[in-house]
Amino acid sequence: MQHYTMNLTLKVWKQKNSKTNGAFETYQVKNISSEMSFLEMFDVLNEQLVAEGKEPIAFDHDCREGICGMCSMYINGRAHGPWSQNTTCQLHMREYKDGDTIVVEPWRATSFPVIKDLVVDRSAFDRIIGAGGYISVNTGNAVDANSLPIDKQKADEAFQAATCIGCGACVAACPNTSAMLFVSAKVSHLALLPQGEPERKTRALNMIHQMDTEGFGSCTNIGACEAECPKGISLENIARLNREYLGAMFSGSATGGA
Amino acid sequence: MALNSKIPAGPLDAKWKTYKSTCKLVNPANKRQLEIIVVGTGLAGASAAASLGEMGYKVKAFCFQDSPRRAHSIAAQGGINAAKNYQNDGDSTYRLFYDTIKGGDYRAREGNVHRLAEVSANIIDQCVAQGVPFAREYGGLLSNRSFGGTQVQRTFYAAGQTGQQLLIGAYQGLERQISLGNVEMFSRHEMLEVVKIDGKARGIIARNLVTGELERHFGHAVLLCTGGYGNVFYLSTNAMGSNVTAAWKAHKAGAYFGNPCFTQIHPTCIPVSGDHQSKLTLMSESLRNDGRIWVPKQKGDNRKPTEIKEEERDYYLERRYPAFGNLVPRDVASRAAKERCDAGYGVGSSKMAVYLDFGAAIERYGKIEANKQGKPNLDKASIIALGKDVVKEKYGNLFDMYEKITGENPYEVPMRIYPAVHYTMGGLWVDYELMTTVPNLYALGEANFSDHGANRLGASALMQGLADGYFVIPYTLGNNLADDIRTKAIPTDHPAFVAAEKEVSDRINRMMNIKGKESVESFHKRLGKIMWDKCGMGRNAKGLKEAIEEIRALRKEFWSNVRIPGDIKEYNPELDKAGRVADFIELGELMCIDALDRNESCGGHFREESQTEEGEALRDDENFMYVAAWEFKGESKFELHKEELVYDVVHPSARSYK
Amino acid sequence: MNWKNTFSTSIGKKILVGATGLFLITFLIVHCYVNAMIFWQDGGKRFTEAAAFMGGNVAVRIMEIGLFAALLVHIVQGLTLWSQNNKRRPVKYAVTPGNKTSKWYSRSMGLLGTLILLFLVMHLYHFWAPNRYGQAFDAAWKETDLYDKMAIVFSNPIVVVVYVLGCVSLGWHLMHGFFSAFQTFGLATNKYKGMVKSIGVAFSVLIPLIFALMPIYFYMIGHH
């Protein structure tokens, strides 16, 4: 692979906090190596800003290996940038060429208020998990792990759903800011396993209730979430969540879902 | 203060059982009156906070990330060990214990490690009950694979995302307790001081990273589950935010630091590509199950790897260590890679890399698959295609990650790998109950020093983190707090809180007011270079002495020339990082002092002065069979306390993987 | 969960849109089947008989009330979702992905639905209102010959164009709506997804095409 360097123009969203309005600022960066990651390019820019006595750009990031779900940039109209099944931290600069202009925005949704610049508050996701995204098993209550064989295909499907990293790209990409892909991934993960069976109905209803309370938009099956999900979580999960909801809705129980 | 490890008396395999049945308990009504602070929400922290919440304690949990689910445990790839013996290949609690002690090069405590092996099976049960989707066989039962340093298959895994799945399991349990009101969560908070009252840890000072405000939090006990300090090397496989700050504040507040120089350099990471590099990415050790490591036999061979014929390749691990081959422990594999590269056989543009090749595995799996499908006479290209599918199922996410970072397709060309800092076996010294030398201050998981000796075996970190959080602390904490039930919650206007907050505030102000010229990042890079060059894979007295001087000079420079933009009372990541780097600098000095003191080679600590004629590490049990527990005595002053290691059951011998 | 909450959650609302949508789809099939009889080349004989049956049959008239109710729910819920979802992102993105991550018609269901609604008002005014009004309020009412009526209405090229555009809107609306309804009912699983999508595309092309051919057909044969 040929390595090269490039000069770029960056238009980055700057916003002091959730109470003020933001605006774009334009920056120039020079001699960016094609081997850098996108966030390393931001490191270069921030070092440059610190040296110039200016304030660096705030952005969320942590593991930089595509698994923690903390990074969250909307790059040239794409959540996590142009590569499919990818997080911002794994996007590399060989995607760009000399002279390119890159526009970087935060996730935009009322349920994800901006904290500063490109940093948003995604705690709504935690509250949705807290509303039911678990199996109620206290430490020490477990039986032997192999006492319950699980169909490999089901286990694999559950795993696929469980690979969600909770980054919020689905919400950011959705024209409605719906969190259905996130919620459906967790509901699917647990509904597919026999361990999740006892709480299956209340789990789906309670998580949906919390999702609505948090103010996420509603799903209209557009599919942008699936296209932008860094972990390739499938719309199939949303279909399953809908089934779970219908199942819970028409079953005899009148509890759950507050 | 004399170190008391509080190892229960009695035979090794009865210690933990006896402890559990005789330790003091706290009744449910009293638990509701007891407040516990848990700092960090990785495997150890999340599992501890969730378990203690379930038991009825009032828990406050803190993490610096935006959500407890982000902790870096999430990045662990390969798996988690447990002595289940589901494969009927001779595994047992004793064998897991033995492998771990041996893997740690006989620098860990027998009692702790045996307990770890005992509870390992419970961890798998607990996680499966939580819905952790471990890999399974077609019969529906759990699947296992093997890892370095062992000859059995005891590693449970979920593709290459085991840490993620385990952490999400613990996180879900934690969120459940949060929504039930048993745990109060403080995300985007960083602990900056331990508050001690009457000699006991009774709370912390934390900074709200969004507003910049300092907060006082009371707790009857404080649990530090804050992970390792590999980022002292600047480049490591740790997350960007991983830091030593909480542990270091505890150290300065009186907690001894155990074996700080014991660092694990992981053999299979993606090599550094340039000065811009901000972190290194691990390629799971599980890849060594199927990948073969080699370099060209000829020095400075610049041909493409695919053009180098089989007989021109040096599979140096298979050559040097025929019994374990590519599955030797991490420290051995790392040093062997360094040796080849230093000798001029390295590959890639930097020449600081070796190949990890899946060609043979792809062909082997392809043949098996062809037989399974009843097509034994398939042509080679089709066999390779089938084999690629099998490899993809096993390691797909790792291969994708490699391709994203390097732009090369590892199904076609061998991966280039090189060792990188990965894990720190050292950490806060704790006794059998996981308590530090400061009463009521505990350390769990990677933050403590206890179970891995001088080298951690693969798939043991997840095991230890969860063992500490789920199965150890719920007992040992109660044993101590049973005496504390009459202690009422101490109001945070107590002078000790006021003083601690002032100290933190003064330090931040001092740092902000330096208004120097050099960025935090730059200081961190410089520290990392000193550490990697002189306290990295190979260490010697001369280098370490130089490093100590250089680090002291660096600290002076930092405190007179660092530039931190922005304000204190706002979201200011540069300020957060400055505090962490300042602590790393102090820790770096201690690491070098410890490495200098330990004039032997053991595990990940390789003193060049102490090696065999063949270049293998040479341990010195006579003089160094102890835990080095360092007490902070003021700036650049550390006092060594030795905890002698007693081996009642295993007999330390030269570690051989040949 | 009680019934009140069942349809008030975001998924509940969507289920209403999907269920009424599926009902409207079945209506389209019947409507298309009956109307396609105009192509029989018999001067509208078969068609007129069928139309008279539909107009006079009590069961069909009762169904019609259901149809309007469904249509109303579909419109109200659909537009409510559209307007609510629109408010969830007060600061819009400066750069949008265009069609890279989703289909334009999937994002434009509100707009396409509104166009169909406008078309529908005209359509009902042309063909439904006169007969139903007469049926209800005019003692001397006699069923209008819809075949003749079509011939008259579709002699106007502007009307033909508007009708064709209405059918095009319907086609794109269905292109998303057909699959979306099945997805909402959780039926678009991996096994059936492909099938549902293919049938959806075929349906979305075929039905509106047949409808669109009707005004064109009358305009071409030009009886009036």
Say yes or no for a CB contact (<8 Å) between B273 and A35.
yes
Cβ neighbours around B299 below 10 Å, total = 10
The residue among A72, A192, A245 with the most chain C CBs within 10 A of its CB, best to mutate, is A245
Q: Is the pLDDT of residue B47 over 70?
A: yes
* B538 or C143, higher pLDDT: B538
Q: Is B69 helix (H, G, I), strand (E, B) or coil?
A: helix
Q: Which residues contact A65 (CB under 8 A, 6 or more apart)?
A: A89, A90, B75, B237, B279, B281, B282, B401
pLDDT tens figures, B454-467: 999 999 999 999 99
The per-residue pLDDT for A258 is 43
The whole-number average pLDDT for the span B198-214 is 98
Q: Is the pLDDT of residue B484 over 60?
A: yes
Q: In chain A, what residues touch C102 (CB-CB under 8 Å)?
A: 175, 222-224, 227
Identify the bridge partners of residue B294 per DSSP, sorted by sequence position: B355
Find, in chain C, the residue whose alpha carbon is nearest to that of A173.
C101
Q: Report the gap between the CA of A81 and the closest CA in chain B (Å).
A: 13
A183 Rama sector, left if φ>0, alpha if ψ -120 to 50, beta otherwise: alpha
Active site residue B330: yes
Q: In chain A, what residues touch B277 (CB-CB under 8 Å)?
A: 40
CA–CA dist B234, B237 (Å, integer): 10
Which chains have 3+ CB pairs within 8 A of C?
Answer: A
Q: Report the gap between the CA of A58 and the closest CA in chain B (Å).
A: 7
Alpha helices per DSSP H over chain A: 38-51, 123-130, 152-162, 169-173, 180-191, 200-213, 224-228, 236-250
pLDDT tens figures, B392-409: 988 888 899 999 999 999
pLDDT tens figures, A28-40: 999 999 999 999 9
Find, in chain A, the residue whose alpha carbon is nearest to that of B238.
A63
Q: Report the gap between the CA of C177 and the closest CA in chain A (Å).
A: 9
Backbone angles phi, psi at A159, to 5 degrees: -60, -45
Q: Is the pLDDT of residue A256 over 60?
A: no
Q: In chain A, what residues touch B179 (CB-CB under 8 Å)?
A: 127, 130-131
Identify the bridge partners of residue A12 per DSSP, sorted by sequence position: A25, A104
Number of H helices, E strands in chain A: 8, 7
Say yes or no for a CB contact (<8 Å) between A77 and C14.
no
Alpha helices per DSSP H over B181-223: none
State both tokens at B409. Answer: 């397709």
State both tokens at A220. Answer: 């209209």
Q: In chain A, what residues touch B228 (CB-CB under 8 Å)?
A: none
Say yes or no for a CB contact (<8 Å) between A64 and B573.
no
Nearest to B478, CA basis, from B113, B122, B220, B183: B220
Find, in chain A, the residue whose alpha carbon is nearest to that of B209.
A115
State both tokens at C35. Answer: 């109307």
CA–CA dist B248, B254 (Å, integer): 10
Among the partner residues A11, A223, A254, nearest to C1 by beta-carbon distance: A254
Among the partner residues B136, B159, B400, nearest to A152 by beta-carbon distance: B136
CATH class of B266-420: alpha beta
Q: Is the pLDDT of residue C143 over 80?
A: no
Q: What percent of chain A has pLDDT over 90?
A: 94
- Averaged pLDDT score across all residues of chain C: 92
pLDDT tens figures, A149-191: 999 999 999 999 999 999 999 999 999 999 999 999 999 999 9
Find, in chain C, the residue whose alpha carbon is nearest to that of A157.
C190
CA–CA dist C11, A178 (Å, integer): 11
Q: In chain C, what residues touch A249 (CB-CB under 8 Å)?
A: 1, 6, 12
Verdict on whether the full-model pTM lies above 0.90:
yes
Q: Do chains B and A touch (3 or more CB pairs under 8 A)?
A: yes
Q: Do chains C and A touch (3 or more CB pairs under 8 A)?
A: yes
The per-residue pLDDT for B146 is 86
pLDDT band at A14 (very low <50, low <70, confident <90, very high): very high
Cβ neighbours around B298 below 10 Å, total = 14
Q: Do chains B and C touch (3 or more CB pairs under 8 A)?
A: no
Say yes or no for a CB contact (<8 Å) between A145 and B124.
yes
Which chains have 3+ CB pairs within 8 A of B?
Answer: A
Q: Is the pLDDT of residue B1 over 80?
A: no
The whole-number average pLDDT for the span B366-394 is 92
Q: Report the gap between the CA of A222 and the closest CA in chain B (Å).
A: 27
- Averaged pLDDT score across all residues of chain B: 96
- Averaged pLDDT score across all residues of chain A: 95
The per-residue pLDDT for B658 is 82
> For residues B388 and B411, is the Cβ–Cβ distance under 8 A?
yes
Among the partner residues A40, A119, A123, nearest to B67 by beta-carbon distance: A123
Nearest to B366, CA basis, from B346, B348, B382: B382
Question: Which strands, in side-by-side order, build the sheet including B257-258?
Answer: B427-428, B257-258, B626-632, B638-644
The per-residue pLDDT for C4 is 75
The per-residue pLDDT for A252 is 60
Q: Which residues contact B595 (CB under 8 A, 6 or more apart)?
A: B261, B535, B539, B544, B605, B607
Say yes or no for a CB contact (<8 Å) between B279 and A65.
yes
The per-residue pLDDT for B2 is 81
Find, in chain A, the residue whose alpha carbon is nearest to that of B161.
A163
> For residues A240 and C184, is the Cβ–Cβ distance under 8 A?
no
Say yes or no for a CB contact (<8 Å) between A105 and C100.
no
The per-residue pLDDT for B78 is 86
ipTM of this complex prediction, to 2 decimal places: 0.97
Q: Which CATH number fits domain B507-644: 3.20.20.70, 1.20.58.100, 1.10.3720.10, 1.10.357.10?
A: 1.20.58.100
Q: Is the pLDDT of residue A257 over 70?
A: no
The per-residue pLDDT for C52 is 86
pLDDT band at C5 (very low <50, low <70, confident <90, very high): confident
Could you give the C-alpha distances from B532 to B230, B231, B232, B339, B641, in angstroms and in order? 11, 11, 9, 16, 26
> For residues B222 and B391, is the Cβ–Cβ distance under 8 A?
no
pLDDT tens figures, C157-170: 999 999 999 999 99
At which residue do the structure tokens 């004039």 appear? B599
Residues of chain B with CATH 3.90.700.10: 266-420
CA–CA dist A203, C206 (Å, integer): 42
> For residues A85 and A229, is the Cβ–Cβ distance under 8 A?
yes
> For residues C55 and C143, is the Cβ–Cβ distance under 8 A?
yes
State both tokens at B64. Answer: 């610096």
pLDDT band at A130 (very low <50, low <70, confident <90, very high): very high
Surface of A (90-109) touching B: CB under 8 A: 90-92, 94
Q: What percent of chain B has pLDDT over 70?
A: 100
At which residue do the structure tokens 């096993």 appear? B394
Q: Report the gap between the CA of A243 and the closest CA in chain B (Å).
A: 20
Say yes or no for a CB contact (<8 Å) between B122 and A142.
yes
At which residue do the structure tokens 């492909």 appear? C194
Q: Report the gap between the CA of A257 and the closest CA in chain B (Å).
A: 15
Residues of chain B with CATH 1.20.58.100: 507-644
Q: Which residues contact B494 (CB under 8 A, 6 or more apart)?
A: B197
Find, in chain A, the residue whose alpha carbon is nearest to that of C182.
A239
Q: Is B64 helix (H, G, I), strand (E, B) or coil?
A: coil
Q: Report the gap between the CA of A32 and the closest CA in chain B (Å).
A: 9
Say yes or no for a CB contact (<8 Å) between A159 and B165.
yes
Q: Is the pLDDT of residue A127 over 90?
A: yes
Q: Is the pLDDT of residue C82 over 50?
A: yes
Surface of C (129-168) touching A: CB under 8 A: none
The whole-number average pLDDT for the span B170-194 is 98
Number of H helices, E strands in chain B: 18, 21
Of B145, B292, B330, B555, which residue is the catalytic one?
A: B330
Domains of chain C: 3-89+103-221 (1.20.1300.10)
Q: Which residues contact A32 (CB under 8 A, 6 or more apart)?
A: A5, A6, A7, A8, A41, A44, A93, A96
CA–CA dist B318, B605 (Å, integer): 23
Q: What percent of chain B has pLDDT over 90?
A: 92
The per-residue pLDDT for C152 is 93
Longest dimension (CA), chain B: 82
Domains of chain A: 5-116 (3.10.20.30), 123-250 (1.10.1060.10)
pLDDT tens figures, A224-253: 999 999 999 999 999 999 999 999 987 765
The per-residue pLDDT for B396 is 87
pLDDT tens figures, B616-652: 999 999 999 999 999 999 999 999 999 999 999 999 9
The whole-number average pLDDT for the span B6-13 is 97
The per-residue pLDDT for A254 is 47
Quick one: CA torsion of A223, A227, A233, A235, rounded to 10 degrees? 20
Q: Is the pLDDT of residue B310 over 90?
A: yes
- Residue C222 in contact with partner chain A when CB distance is under 8 A: no
Q: Is the pLDDT of residue C177 over 50?
A: yes
pLDDT tens figures, A197-217: 999 999 999 999 999 999 999
Find, in chain A, the residue whose alpha carbon is nearest to that of C178.
A221
